[in-house]
Structure 1
Amino acid sequence: MDAFVAGSRGRPALSFLCPKISLFSPPSHSWFRWLVGAPRVLPPFTVAAVLRPIHGDHDAIDLPREADEIRGLLPRGFDIIGVLLVGGEGSDADVTRALEQARALRELLFGVAASHGLVGGHMDAATGEIRFVVSESGWTNSVEGSVVTWEDEPGRLLWEKGCLLRCELLLKLPLYLRPDVNSGIEGQFSSLIESTVAKLRDPHVYYLVEGPITSSQSHRSIILRGDDLSFDSHTHGNSRTDSCTTSIVTCSEFFTEKRYDLSLTRETADAIAITVNQSAPSLKPGGTPVVEYFPASAPASLIVITLKLDILCYSSIDFPVAAAVSELVIPGLADQMIVMKRIIASEITQQAQLQPFHFIPSGWHVPVTAIYNTRYGETEERQSELRKELHLRLGLPLASS
């Protein structure tokens, strides 16, 4: 049943693509559940997955830390659309607070207020009954909801309406360190990220876009230039593009075969591949290279930071691929650089070797990305702690010791 259709006849409706048991099992120290949707692709107030806060408790959640980690975990295109409180009294104040927390986390993630609707709700842990309110377009006025549905074929809804894009990019960034190794690292790293993102938007950058290989061993591919991309939009997952014309290539055109066997759609098997070519045009004939000298204000040493970026994005199949690159892929690369910056800056002398891994957790239909420092062994304490935190956030059982 389409919950949006049901709700459009009266009060708003809420639809879940995840099983009800995932909301309260296994037990959690926090009553809060972050509700994840995809406003670009799925109907309003459709919950694709549920995340659990792991920093702070239900009285004082550490929202900045939550935003930092969720930014690297969810593919661009998925978004926070609400908060559900599981257990507790479920008073009007609780439901309102849930809505406020959703709004606050959403703004920390993207730097702007949500223009899509947000949900605040309460679930009775004993009966499973859900009471919720929605705030249209992220505004403060809320409306009591009515219908709650649990989709029978959640994977079909996700992958008939949407698709994945994947981009891998190897970067080597120069970082100059003072003898006081911790001095100004965050600022330098942030400047490097800003300049790198600016280069990705350069008119001379090329993007090779390739669809999945078909049964006939062929695939659709095109080349986009920076000039073909639009950077005027700052939707951050809020809106759909309605300006598509027949001359615009949409994501659906990269899937020449019908995608009925959705059980085969796993982490990246059905993704559109995006390859970045940053080769600058050759110097004009007669051009003379210029070298500039910038003296250092203090003794410094050079280290080269290697970043192996690997991101997934979730887009509507009807979305123009050029818009998907500019509004999803490039911001997604920036997100992953920011997450890696936080890890590397805290271990600058240890030469962290970061590697993103994509997977679909058990019971989920949405892929997530975990970034591990491969310098650590599988059994080392830090690596084990990271896996434990990830399992807690995803609601997965912990391995027995």
Structure 2
Amino acid sequence: MSAISKLIIPALVDQFNSMKKAVLPKLLAQHPQLCSYHFNPPGLLHPITVIYELNYGETELKQVEVRRSLHMRLGLPFDRPLLRIANALDFSMMKDGSGNSSKRKGPSLLKDVHIGIPSSGVSGGVISLVQGSYEYHHYLQDGFDDSGWGCAYRSLQTIISWFRLQYYTSIDVPSHREIQQALVEIGDKDPSFIGSREWIGAIELSFVLDKLLGVSCKIINVRSGAELPEKCRELALHFENQGTPIMIGGGVLAYTLLGVDYNEASGDCAFLILDPHYTGNDDHKKIVNGGWCGWKKAVDSKGRNFFLHDKFYNLLLPQRPSMV
């Protein structure tokens, strides 16, 4: 009772007074939408409360400057998000298995399915992996049948889940229709594209990431799947410096790349592939044993090519934003 009367009630009164000062001058003209969020950034001994104007949106310049000013006042770093809405403490009662609040509708998805998988078989290689958590998105999830055409959409969903789980954004992972809607809104596709079963590739994924998250991407083109091992050094540098999942698209297939194991001296390498073509239930053991998440060599021990030699490939490398 003492804590409530001495700490909580005065803090709430301060919040209301701050909102009143912000709202009254603009009430008739702009209709401000203010909301309080509570944060517990590293290095601070107690949570802080920030009142944000929701009309701006997280990537709008004015909102970015507000966060940058707060980072400066609190002595927080300027290269990663700590005071975005996605970072806010959630006091709801619904928790996922990790103790964090789950905002996703329906059952939670498997995270970080590559952890604990068998080794790549590359002798003396250096492993470079995705940094941070992601969700495994694949065919037939959410009761939606995209078998045969939705692999790049699922790879994009996995990539966006990475940005969500690293707190770069608070938007929900978009559905296939919402991805199509974004491409129509920027003028890349005609309105008839919405609700279709048309494939998309690396270029379309880069457009969606830019529109929805403000994330820029690097694209690597190779003329044949046979050339992909030549890109292992560049891919290793990406995982070490950027740490984001990569989409590999070639022909009518798309995969999510989570890492490489590369021996620079011998040139031997393997690719850690997360396959969105999986159609079963989210059983980690079944996924790993079936090879849906695992190390793939360009040419396996039986001489079979994982990447097709008669198809060109585009690799989408999302760049980690240096942002607040």
- The TM-score with structure 2 as length reference comes to 0.23
Structure holding more strand per residue:
1
- The TM-score with structure 1 as length reference comes to 0.19
